[in-house]
Structure 1
């Protein structure tokens, strides 16, 4: 016989499945976002099950206890804030479908977050990184094109590995990107990225496909769509070879793209469009990075700096 805790957890799982299915069908959210929602909700569901509660019977007090427990465990504020965002969306879904009468998450406050400045690279470091792949090798020729494209367009790594041949127009110098929420945007390639892609298509892509047919722009060595984790490991390999000591993340070149554009006078709203940010406030974080860099340049080169 199923114990009470297991029964409550099963009820929560059924509710989560229905929520995820609706978010996928109606909102067009990415697999990564849906996976994050499921993970966040399952953490809460497991905790509630120990209190003989399920997600749909949770009270505000139970949610506060859960948040307090996470704080005591030293969970990062950014992780807790993201989880609270997931809970709020889930409970709004329950209220909208009249599955609960009141939203227990409505009055919960998100933890105060300090302003996080994304890690970036100097223009010289980017130059060294982009020059590292050996274009005589098919895999490294592909990587060279991907790195150039990443830096030229500011794509997310997931967007980059998901590109297909039909999304690329070398004649117009544009790439059509499907971003978060299945929103499309057109991004200019830039001369260096276009040259690198043309070289890759001419001498490397067919070798990687090994006679197989595929619309994937940058296939793996197994002629399949590359995972974002695989490409992240490739970036770290070239950073190591280029002796770049700066701590990197999968978004490092995206951050460099935005910061360097602003350093050279680009309009913030243009950068917002290129990055695919729905809100200008998300892009504004890069102005702080650019200002820090400009202050450093002034200090180093101005006679009275």
Structure 2
């Protein structure tokens, strides 16, 4: 990835004769994007699709970057991808599928689903079918763990410790994490593994937990598309992505009194900045915590 960016920057200098300041802006934008992608297990530009780029832009938005900054990043990515196509490094340009003004439609704070809306989503899959059982198990895992899409699609049978309600995964920066599971998540995973997955897999050696209708591992694109279908069927009038489930997971834990450090441990990185507007403590919570923890209260 670094080599492609370096070659593109050299092209801007030697062929386009752009100023050093302009080239530095391109470099900064592309390095920020590349850092995010590499942190999420992406090592080649060929692996990047429009869904991953939308995740990147959403992440920058949650960092409170100005719209002008994000639109500049979009412009830099557009020019970079045109270069990659023109020089035959790629055959598909994912930036063509993203509206240039996309970020102006994104809220300053992340969309959060209510507990009722989560329940609406969970009821959408038709659990009389193998794929419906898979979808219900997948949604239960997303709701119970706050896992990234990249972690969910990489989930292996060996990572499941259902007898003790735990998942053991390797996440960002190859860090191993232990994640608790809810009882409903355990039950639906067990149902999926027993009754659904055996009907879907074609290769008995396949160890990925969540597979598609052809028995191959689910992809990031597959989960994004399914999420749109679930949200539409649940009649939820919000812009929901898989990342929405992750933020909702954190906010629901906070609202129910969970320790922020615990949430950071489960999520695997400091996601608190994105949900900062939801961290305000109510007077009732403040009083209750004071009475609970002050030694002379």
Could you tell me which residue of structure 1 aligns to residue 92 of structure 2?
none
Do structure 1's residue 177 and structure 2's residue 184 form an aligned pair?
no
Could you tell me which residue of structure 2 aligns to residue 137 of structure 1?
129
Of the candidates 33, 43, 48, which is equivalent to residue 13 of structure 2? 48
**TM-score (norm. length: structure 2):** 0.64
Report the CA distance between 1:220 and its aligned residue.
Answer: 1.4
- Number of aligned residue pairs: give it: 218
Distance 1:116 1:128 in 2: 25
Contact 1:132 1:241 in 2 (8 A): yes
Report the CA distance between 1:170 and its aligned residue.
Answer: 0.6
Distance 2:10 2:257 in 1: 48
Could you tell me which residue of structure 2 aligns to residue 286 of structure 1?
275
Cα deviations by residue, 1:29-67 (Å, 9 ceiling, x for unpaired): xxxxxxxxx5x65654443343458xxxxx853535758
Cα distance change of structure 1 residues 65 and 188 upon mapping to structure 2, 3 Å threshold: closer
Cα distance change of structure 1 residues 82 and 65 upon mapping to structure 2, 3 Å threshold: closer
Of the candidates 255, 259, 262, which is equivalent to residue 267 of structure 1? 259
Distance 1:66 1:162 in 2: 32
Distance 1:82 1:42 in 2: 19
Contact 1:144 1:196 in 2 (8 A): yes
Could you tell me which residue of structure 2 aligns to residue 198 of structure 1?
190
Contact 2:227 2:241 in 1 (8 A): no
Could you tell me which residue of structure 1 aligns to residue 236 of structure 2?
244
Cα distance change of structure 1 residues 213 and 65 upon mapping to structure 2, 3 Å threshold: closer
Contact 1:159 1:179 in 2 (8 A): yes
Report the CA distance between 1:131 and its aligned residue.
Answer: 1.2
Cα deviations by residue, 1:253-284 (Å, 9 ceiling, x for unpaired): 1111001111111111111111100x4xx424
Cα distance change of structure 1 residues 284 and 202 upon mapping to structure 2, 3 Å threshold: same
Cα distance change of structure 1 residues 196 and 290 upon mapping to structure 2, 3 Å threshold: farther
Cα distance change of structure 1 residues 144 and 197 upon mapping to structure 2, 3 Å threshold: same
Distance 1:118 1:223 in 2: 34
Q: Secondary structure at the match of 1:175?
A: strand
Distance 2:214 2:29 in 1: 45
Q: Secondary structure at the match of 1:127?
A: helix
CA RMSD of aligned residues (A): 3.3
Report the CA distance between 1:232 and its aligned residue.
Answer: 1.1
Could you tell me which residue of structure 1 aligns to residue 145 of structure 2?
153
Cα distance change of structure 1 residues 65 and 217 upon mapping to structure 2, 3 Å threshold: closer
Contact 1:268 1:284 in 2 (8 A): no
**TM-score (norm. length: structure 1):** 0.63
Max radius of gyration: which structure? 1
Unaligned runs of 5+ in 2: 31-65, 77-106, 284-297
Do structure 1's residue 61 and structure 2's residue 21 form an aligned pair?
yes
Contact 2:136 2:188 in 1 (8 A): yes
Report the CA distance between 1:83 and its aligned residue.
Answer: 11
Unaligned runs of 5+ in 1: 1-12, 18-37, 54-58, 85-114, 296-305
Could you tell me which residue of structure 1 aligns to residue 199 of structure 2?
207
Do structure 1's residue 231 and structure 2's residue 220 form an aligned pair?
no
